[in-house]
Structure 1
């Protein structure tokens, strides 16, 4: 097959035809994402006049640097917890068949059937002073009085991990399902035990799914808004909550746009670093 063509239903399509088919997608990206984002970022440097004052405020005030650092730390913690909890689930799903596999898949996909707001509200009920968690801790004698679990960083981390776990499980599960069973059988024939076979065969081959899920959860957690707003305290806000505060309470759109610009730049840098360091295309078997 010649370069610049691909075969579909026995016929070859030119690169121009492919671009024509992709035009609606590109148009949607431009008008639904790039244009609104560009318009918002323009406010940060053009309002009230061409200036970089709004960006100077972001870096000059230590409060905003603290919020940015807290956002990075919590996003990393949520990603690590999601990975630790999702890997065993994905392995169990990949090794299951029949009704058991259907049941496990349904458990992972079930959270998508309810909104993030509903799941976050459920955690607020569980973690309140007279909620199920405090009643359980007092019932087994660990605590003598209700703990302050709600409106803390711990509550935000727990709820965000629960909400974002499916985005970690599914990429890892997909990578594990693509590993031929013969590889582990060959490792066993060569004398490798289950643990060594997993460490030297399964884990390296599943690494694209692990890294893909990790970066997906991490980048999503950086801009998360609903869960930190409902379960966190104003003294421990994340950057998305700060942006909302600047727009809704202070009506300071240029400064909010500057915060969006900093967050966008941060996400772009992290994505490029991950792509450069881990070389996703080589890990997936593509040509360099």
Structure 2
């Protein structure tokens, strides 16, 4: 069985592990291989603010994806096969579309001459176009729409394998629907919730396209800052250090989520 791991390991070594090592190495690669780049990051209030903004945006996107994705996943898991397949296809089809294309679609919808402003102006609800673009709300809308399938898929997988007799037993014993939902249903869905949260949060931390197109400089995320350091200031060492910090943020986030899962006795895979 160990030999079966060898081919993917040999593939990941030059395509994933080695590039990460090179990025981290470049962050230290100065005249004396010092921590100057990292000191600059954490001593500069702008860089610290970008790190905080990135974490906050990823956290909000994860919470929004859960609040929207949970009821959708519940409906899909309870629907008849025909309608469930149609709904599942509607969730999957956006994954086959480029993120750039989907983000430009939001520009067409949210722009000052976009569909939303045009409709609201034509019906007389507003006198002048609203500024729906280039703010944190536009970034959150675009990111949640892109990342929503990553929350729904593990939730549906978990919900379809739940033992619903526990819900029936809770109702028979006198629990009202809200109490049964909070104390029985949600805990049984925790594997899907945790798995979806990991996928969405980690993806959101390194998101680039949507914040770059829908956001603005004073609400920058770390991936956009890395791109600017590479293409505009040509400071590859600082960009590599920022990428290393992002990598550490990802590892810490995954570790915290896994630790929380173990603390609650939750396995990040659907139960059978």
TM over 0.5: yes
* Aligned twin of 2:95: 112
* Aligned twin of 2:249: 266
Q: CA deviation at 1:124?
A: 0.7
Q: CA deviation at 1:183?
A: 2.0
Gap runs ≥5 in structure 1: 1-17
Q: What are the residue-to-residue correspondences of 1:32-51 with 2, within 5 Å? A: 32-51=15-34
* Aligned twin of 1:14: none
State yes or no: 1:101 paired with 2:78. Answer: no
Q: What are the residue-to-residue correspondences of 1:213-252 with 2, within 5 Å? A: 213-252=196-235
Please identify the structure whose Cα radius of gyration is greater. Answer: 1
Q: Distance in 1 between matches of 2:140 and 2:12?
A: 31
8 Å Cα contact 1:152/1:233 also seen in 2:
yes
Q: Distance in 2 between matches of 1:200 and 1:89?
A: 20
Q: Distance in 1 between matches of 2:29 and 2:268?
A: 45
User: 1:22-43 CA deviation, whole Å, 9 max, x = no partner?
Assistant: 1111122222111111011101
CA gap of 1:192–1:139, structure 2 versus 1, over 3 A, is farther
* Aligned twin of 1:206: 189
User: 1:195-246 CA deviation, whole Å, 9 max, x = no partner?
Assistant: 2222221110101111111121111101000111111112321100000011
State yes or no: 1:124 paired with 2:115. Answer: no
Q: CA deviation at 1:269?
A: 1.2
8 Å Cα contact 2:151/2:199 also seen in 1:
yes
Equivalent of 1:153 in 136, 159, 163: 136
8 Å Cα contact 2:261/2:267 also seen in 1:
no
Equivalent of 2:4 in 18, 21, 25: 21
Q: Distance in 2 between matches of 1:185 and 1:174?
A: 21
CA gap of 1:204–1:233, structure 2 versus 1, over 3 A, is same
Equivalent of 2:170 in 178, 187, 206: 187
Which secondary structure does the structure 2 equivalent of 1:224 belong to? coil
Which secondary structure does the structure 2 equivalent of 1:179 belong to? coil
* Aligned twin of 1:76: 59
8 Å Cα contact 2:195/2:268 also seen in 1:
no
Higher relative contact order (CA 8 A, sep 6+): 2
Q: Distance in 1 between matches of 2:159 and 2:205?
A: 27
8 Å Cα contact 1:208/1:280 also seen in 2:
no
**Structure 1 stretches of at least 4 aligned residues deviating more than 6 Å after TM superposition:** none
8 Å Cα contact 2:70/2:152 also seen in 1:
yes
Q: CA deviation at 1:64?
A: 0.5
8 Å Cα contact 2:194/2:268 also seen in 1:
no
Q: What number of residue pairs does the alignment pair up?
A: 269
State the TM-score, normalizing by the size of structure 2: 0.94
CA gap of 1:118–1:285, structure 2 versus 1, over 3 A, is closer
Q: For structure 1, which segment, 264-273 or 194-203, has the greater mean C-alpha deviation from structure 2 after superposition? A: 194-203
Q: Distance in 1 between matches of 2:123 and 2:155?
A: 36
RMSD: 1.7
Q: Distance in 2 between matches of 1:199 and 1:20?
A: 45
Gap runs ≥5 in structure 2: none
